[in-house]
Chain A
Amino acid sequence: MDRCANVHGFAAVTAVEPMSTAQTDDELVAAVLGGDEAAFELLFERYRRSVTRLAYRFFYRQEQVEDIVQESFANAYFAFGSYRGGHEKSFIAWLSRITIRTCYDVMRRTRRAENMLNELSQDEEATLAARLRGAALGSEIESAAISRDLAAKLLQRLDPEDRLVLTLLNGADLSVREVSELTGWSPSKVKMRAHRARKVLQRVLHRYV
């Protein structure tokens, strides 16, 4: 969650609103609630990259990720009234929760359609089996070498909840507590979901070992 990571975008906004660089997130949110659209644009510039990065954890097509980013910021805009500031990281944590909720909703909405398309082709099956055999022999599997489509298809076989937890824990390297805070689920539910997701995934992969 890199705050102010997008230097170019941030600079572009500050060129228009030079005084707003000193404003904290909480002040900007208050300004948005007061009807200041420039404050919202500034918040958008600060966190557009973070939201995009988070959306890319769950979705792989550019247009889909762009859609998630738009929807997340729109949801945040309508939820500003529920934002309670207070400490330094709170806005990005709040925005991340909204983004994850948006991703989760989209995953649930599109699951049925995706399920119909996620059957592995014969080539993909052969590739997967070969890579798994290679791993057993001790050769290093490079992440980049694995087809993203193949990985995406495998992950789509999981329930949205399981996929969300597994991606955040193993893909984003978050702790159970952090995942619990982001999703609003209890730590035990996060652990249970992670365990279940691994079991399902291993069952799928086991066919090709």
Chain B
Amino acid sequence: MFRRNEKLIQAEQLDRFEHEMLRAVSASEEELDAVADSPDLYEKVRLRIAVDERAWAQPRSATGLFGTPLRWSLAAAIVLILLAVAALLWLPRPSRETHEVAPLVPHSIPAPPPSNVDQAITPPSASTPQQPRRVARRRPRTDNRADEVATDFLPLTYIAGPAASDSGHVVRMNVPRSALIAMGFPMNVDRAGELVKADVFVGDDGLARAIRFVQ
């Protein structure tokens, strides 16, 4: 109770002092007269107007484009620079790896020699002229073909003969693992039922001429 009364007294005291203080700063009539009755006050006002008029009439040297004050132009430039820096820092960066694209190699595989099927079919890369090997790392491909390991094309001897075609196309297919045995490859008997990938060279007559296994 006593503390509350004390607070009230203090608040009243401060209010009162505040009023007194604000009244204390008001000017006396003498001070008022000294300024208001100053004989050259009007002349000073006229002079001020003339100076302001001249300032407005002069071309504004401190303005930027479109009359924008220079400081605003500078501020805008700084903001733009900061935004550019932020964009550089935050946007996803392109990978620094060189993405040199290897020269296109024709995908069509040359047909195996038609006449002499006893010769081993050489892989297509062997018959094409040597390309300079790229040391640049390639971007990972989605179709895993680059990671594949393949055997050489093995001729299917049952079609040997002059009727053999010298052109055709390669077909990727899954063949039973037991087909490995037919080509003389070792095979785990327990997995004989599984399928393995194979590229089969099919001639224009529709007959399979060669096969290679892919892992």
Contact = CB atoms under 8 A, between A and B. Distances in A.
Bound pair: A and B?
yes
Report which residue of B11, B15, B48 has the largest number of chain A beta carbons within 10 angstroms of its beta carbon. Answer: B48
Interface of B: 9-11, 13-27, 31-32, 34-38, 41-42, 44-45, 48-49, 52
A41 B42 contact: yes
A4 interface: no
Report which residue of A62, A77, A151 has the largest number of chain B beta carbons within 10 angstroms of its beta carbon. Answer: A151
A154 interface: yes
Interface in A50-107: 52-53, 55-57, 60, 62, 65-66, 69-71, 73-74, 77-78
A174 to B, nearest CB: 12
Contacts of B24: 143-148, 151
Contact of B20 (A53, A56, A146): A146
A53 B32 contact: yes
A161 to B, nearest CB: 16
B37 A56 contact: no
Interface stretch (A23-31, A119-127, A131-139, A175-183): A131-139
A144 B38 CA distance: 25
Nearest to B47: A70
Given A74-B45, A143-B23, A201 B16 contact: no
25 contacts: A52-B35, A53-B36, A56-B26, A56-B27, A56-B31, A57-B26, A65-B27, A66-B44, A69-B41, A74-B48, A77-B49, A78-B49, A132-B17, A135-B16, A141-B17, A143-B21, A144-B24, A151-B21, A151-B22, A151-B24, A170-B22, A202-B14, A202-B18, A209-B13, A209-B14
A112 interface: no
A173 to B, nearest CB: 10
Contact of B11 (A74, A77, A146, A202): A202
Interface of A: 6, 8-9, 41, 44-45, 48-49, 52-53, 55-57, 60, 62, 65-66, 69-71, 73-74, 77-78, 131-132, 135-136, 141-148, 151-152, 154-155, 166-167, 170-171, 198, 201-202, 205-206, 209
B52 A78 contact: yes
B80 to A, nearest CB: 29
Given A8-B37, A141-B17, A171 B23 contact: yes
Contacts, number: 120
Contact of B45 (A44, A148, A155, A202): A44
A147 B11 CA distance: 22
Contacts of A171: 22-23, 25-26
Given A136-B9, A146-B24, A148-B24, 11 more contacts: A44-B42, A56-B31, A56-B35, A57-B25, A66-B38, A78-B49, A141-B17, A147-B24, A151-B21, A155-B25, A201-B14
Contact of B21 (A45, A60, A146): A146
A148 B28 CA distance: 12
A62 B32 CA distance: 9
Nearest to A203: B14
Nearest to A6: B36
Contact of B52 (A6, A74, A202): A74
A96 B15 CA distance: 27
Contacts of B38: 66
Nearest to B25: A151
A69 B35 contact: yes
A62 B13 CA distance: 31
A171 B187 CA distance: 107
Contacts of B9: 136
